Structure 1
Amino acid sequence: MKQTWFERAIFFSWYCGIRDCAYCFMSTQPDSKKAVRSKESLLAELLLCKKLGWKIGFISGGIGAFSQTKFKDLLKDMYKVSGEKFWLNIGALTADELKEYLPYTKGVVGSIETVNERIHDKICPSKPMEPYFEMFEDVSKLGLKNAMTIILGLGETIKDFAELKNIVEKYNITKVHFYGLNPQKGTVFEKSDPPSAEYQAEWIKKTREEFPKIDIQCGIWVDRVDRVAKLLKAGANSISKFPILKKFGSKEAKEIERQAKLAGREFRGTLTKLPEIDWDGEISKLDLAEELKEKIKNKLRLYLKKMQKNYF
């Protein structure tokens, strides 16, 4: 049976040096303070992902939240926990930055968001597409992979698929994340309707037909779990965006696993049952400073406690 799985994006901050993308919650926040997560929080979450069978969709956070040196050090410790290289979604990186992060990187994710140039210029005025295209070219030269994110419901139509096809072909895109607009309070999209399941599925279906081997990841939210089977049948490989730490074992999490079965897929990992694991023992094995490992243990206990609220 064909498999599907959950992908977790790991965010290292709630800060962004741009903060003017019209659809984004950060555009409503006046404070530019660099709010970053603790290292133990990130590493505890990574260990959860590894042990519960969740793939890491990408590492992301606000553009400019870390210096290059500090981010490389963070990636090094994250790699020690995951044992795998990461997709990076941290803005348009230069060739020198890419080389610096190379030991811990499998590829980059360009936040293209919409392939309609007119709409893009309007809703992402400080995030032009061209630097991402330049990054894609540099990445290919380094032998890494390219991916991109698309948010449906920003004003584009299915007619814009031709431009997506062009970008995938021109820049050797091997993975596309298809999200649906999640209207944020205080933004121009606050009263907008999110895209329908049929519309999201149409983009996925056309992409699968044009690119049979491409990796397609569909983003859903708590109120959209009933569309999972439709999106998988349309050609998606995996699922993301679901707030699993808050909703582990919930009726919505159970519905995602049920929807996977409806689509004829075997669900890899679990969103509903905590396995019996010696968590302290797993953390003790890590090649990290003892003080940091103790902090990870404490943070992980808090995560597990939160997850068990819906777990019966």
Structure 2
Amino acid sequence: MDRLREMEVFVAIVDRGSFTGASEKIGLSVAAVSRALYSLEARLGAQLLARTTRSVRPTDAGVAYLDTCRKVLDTITDAEANLASYNVNPVGTLTVSAPVLFGQRYIAPLVNAFALRYPDVSINAVYIDRTTRLLEEGVDIAIRIGHLGDSTTFAVPLGFVQRRTYAAPAYLAAHGEPAHPRDLVSHDCVSFTGVTHPFEWVFSENGARLPVRLHPRMIVDLAPAAVSAAIDGVGITQLLSYQAAPEVQNGRLLPVLPAFEPESVPVNLLHVERRGASGKIRAFLEFVTETLRRNAQLQLVEGAAVVDATAPASSR
């Protein structure tokens, strides 16, 4: 088996998470997939995959080699596509990842419009409230809310969101409004693990970080669940500003402790450096970037809680 085919097999195993999945993806028998992987590891003199009875994942050497394999295969795919037509449209499969609620509200409509405009691109949209690993999981584009630390990616800044605290009018009427973050210890609280530590919420006072220890009444792992609980009066919750924007606009939630909001949180669109020149990725970047930058929910100034003037005062 030639080297390119072995690379393709290796990438397919990582992407599908198993030899069987790779077999189905590239049309080889499981035995042929195994032989290709063993041949590749023998030629390189390195173990690329760590296998257990339950999982297959790349070793450190495998992660490093995976990047090279994807680059080579992407280059070949793009070269063949360019030869097919001088004015070739983007082709191939594009994998896009975003937090669930942000994806539902802002990314899914753009993905749908992109799919209609570029019919030769197949879309794999992954909406999940955890940080996806672009290289290891084969993700082309990821929306990341939070500070970055991944040197293997290129980041396209989109804007900022704010971590804010909310409660229903009925809850505040019954329990009173906290005047200081430390007052939350005597209130019922709903912690959303995608934004805060369940037992410690972070605020800012006089420019300094102010952590507050809590004993939450409820802990949830989805933003819509936190919004629903707060609306129903279960307690006060802390969310990213866009996650509660519709409920603030219709008066079902009110912001509390606005003077103690922590610094704003950056929102970036990430792609892996090796794929920066890929036609499908370049087209998607051009298609969505400016639209997202104009989104009123991302129009915060770094380090400050300044929102669009048309927005009323006050899931990832």
Q: TM range, normalised to the smaller chain?
A: under 0.3
TM-score by length of 1: 0.24
